Amino acid sequence: MLSFNDSYFLGETRDNFYIEPMMKCVWAAQLEVMCVIQQICEKHNIPYFADWGTLLGAVRHKGFIPWDDDMDICMLRKDYNRFLKVAPKELPEEYHINSPYTKEEYSYVLSRVLNAHSISYDSSRLYRFHHCPYIVGIDIFPLDTLPADSNEEALLNQLVAILISAVGHYDDSPETIIKMIPELETLCGIKIKPQQSIKNQLLRIADALCQSYNDSDSNIITYVPENTQKHIHLQKDWYQTCEYLPFENIILPVPKNYDAVLTTLYGDYMTPVKSSAGHDYPFYKKQTTAMTDALTQKIMNGETPFHL
Instruction: Tell me if 30 sits within 8 A of 136, measured CB to CB.
Output: yes
Please report whether residue 31 resides in a domain: yes
State whether 21 and 77 are in the same domain. Answer: yes
Q: Residues 104-139: pLDDT tens digits?
A: 999 999 999 999 999 999 999 999 999 999 999 999
**Alpha-carbon Rg of the chain, whole angstroms?**
21
Instruction: Tell me if 180 sits within 8 A of 202, measured CB to CB.
Output: no
* pTM of the complete model beyond 0.85: yes
**Nearest residue to 50 (alpha-carbon basis) of 145, 144, 141, 146:** 141
State whether 186 and 85 are in the same domain. Answer: no
Q: Residues 69-87: pLDDT tens digits?
A: 999 999 999 999 999 999 9
Provide the pLDDT for residue 296: 75
Q: Measure the CA dihedral 248/81/155/260, to 10°.
A: 30
SS3 204: helix
pLDDT at 282 over 60: yes
Provide the pLDDT for residue 306: 52
Grade residue 299 by pLDDT with cuts at 50, 70 and 90: confident
Q: Which of 210, 240, 257 is the last residue of a domain?
A: 210
Region 258-271: mean pLDDT is 97
**Nearest residue to 287 (alpha-carbon basis) of 118, 69, 123:** 118
State whether 189 and 245 are in the same domain. Answer: no
pLDDT at 308 over 50: no
Specify the number of domains making up the chain: 2
Provide the pLDDT for residue 298: 66
pLDDT at 53 over 70: yes
